[in-house]
Structure 1
Amino acid sequence: MLLMVIVLCAGLVTAAPGKQPKDDSLNHYMDLVMDNLQVMLVENGLDPVALPNTSMGFSDTVLGVEWHGEAKLYDGWMRGLASIHRSANAEFIKNSAGVIRGILASLSLGEMKGHYVCLAKFMDLGPVADVFIDVRGSDVYFEALLDTHQCKFRAEVLKVTKLGSINVSIEGLSVLGWIVASLMDFVMIFIGGFVSSFVETVMKDMTDQVLDSIDLSLLGPVLGCDPAAAQLIQLH
């Protein structure tokens, strides 16, 4: 993590009030944070990630009788969440006096692919089908604020701002082919919610873990934070 501190330092030394930070150094710092996040996702078994089981109900009228069916989706997985990366220049967040209070950056997810096994039953009969999922990336907004007591950045916002198109294809429904359109819509909505929720909870927490591992005390005079003083106050 010392490399991250050195890289960030190169940008901070010119980020005093009235001066512009070195974008390349801050960008490099954010790239290193994203590299570590990617590794954490893979090492924690989250790329590919297991998709939650879910189900969709449906009905039809046969010979004047309304019958209800259910399509269960299970054994799901999605690959590609570890493709998160910086997609535009990172920037320092400053207050009105020009003092650094945080950083922000635009991030992106690359293409993600997934799969579900689908068991669809209607009138006690039904096939097992394959559901293939393709998400064409997503735009993500990132913001971290400076904890001046600990001299570390804390992830405040990691949010999907634009979800890429979601394509769903289903093979093997045979006689229940008439539910394909409804099932495709259901899967698209479910996957969109899953990706957004994953980014804004699990991925945000992991990003915060990466940031927490980077001690910026060496840059305290530039950042305006002093962990030693904060600890002394607590002792008193």
Structure 2
Amino acid sequence: MARLLPLLFVHIALCGQLADAEVLAYNTSYRYLEKALKRFVQYYHLDPVALPDVNQTFEKTILFLTVQGEAILTNGSLAGLSTIHRTEYFHFGANRKGIEVYADFGVGPLHLHYAGNVTLVGITYGVDVIITIQNIRVVLQVFESLTEGLVVKDFRIKRMEGLTVTLHNRGVVSYIFNAIAKGAT
């Protein structure tokens, strides 16, 4: 997602419709940003968006017993980006050095889904991982100059609410997996 955010502001600059009289009026740039955010998600077909594969090893100690494992997650998708909206302050400025954009926006609920394999204690289980985030708020500050190009000066998650992670076993011995997974997470 961090790689797509700078594209948003390029999209605003290239594909926006500056002919709207309300965009040129004082103190209405936030409406333009909201329209541009919606157009950006629709234009690049970002709902749902494919996610990269994940391969992660882990180790957890439970009652003097160390559990080692590995998660290989594939076919990831993220749905809910069409709910993107401005949450607070938005600044769009231009001077002789370049263009600067500061935006505070939110999105939610987001739903992430992965299919994959989790190996715990030497046994591999086929799982579905479902992650839900009810609300997330992001601050982004981007500067574009003629010499440096597009530079992300600030990108941070300001607030995240309602994070739930659910693992569903696709195998026959799901009760064993559920017992081990509850202890390991």
TM-score under structure 2 normalisation?
0.63
The answer (yes or no) to whether the contact 1:53–1:75 under 8 Å persists in 2 is: no
Give 1:39's aligned residue.
Answer: 42
Give 2:180's aligned residue.
Answer: 179
| Partners of 2:85 and 2:153 in 1: CA distance | 15
Instruction: State the Cα distance separating 1:168 from its structure 2 match.
Output: 0.6
Secondary structure in structure 1 of the residue aligned to 2:108: strand
Corresponding residue to 1:4 among 18, 32, 45: 18
Q: Could you say if the C-alpha distance between residues 40 and 7 of structure 1 is closer, same or farther in structure 2, counting changes exceeding 3 Å?
A: same
Instruction: State the Cα distance separating 1:181 from its structure 2 match.
Output: 3.8
TM-score under structure 1 normalisation?
0.52
Give 1:76's aligned residue.
Answer: 76
| Matching of residues 19-38 of structure 1 within 5 Å | 22-23=26-27, 25-38=28-41
How many residues align? The count is: 161
Runs (5+) with no aligned partner, structure 2:
1-14
Structure number with the higher strand fraction is: 2
Q: Could you say if the C-alpha distance between residues 82 and 182 of structure 1 is closer, same or farther in structure 2, counting changes exceeding 3 Å?
A: farther
- Aligned-residue Cα RMSD (Å) equals 3.9
Look up the equivalent residue of 1:177 and give its one-letter code: N
Secondary structure in structure 1 of the residue aligned to 2:88: coil
Instruction: State the Cα distance separating 1:112 from its structure 2 match.
Output: 0.6
| Partners of 1:146 and 1:74 in 2: CA distance | 35
The Cα offsets for residues 160-210 of structure 1, whole Å up to 9 and x where unpaired, read as 3223332011222421334324664xxxxxxxxxxxxxxxxxxxxxxxxxx
| Partners of 1:123 and 1:67 in 2: CA distance | 6
| Partners of 1:176 and 1:169 in 2: CA distance | 13
| Partners of 2:72 and 2:178 in 1: CA distance | 15
Look up the equivalent residue of 1:164 and give its one-letter code: E
Give 1:115's aligned residue.
Answer: 113
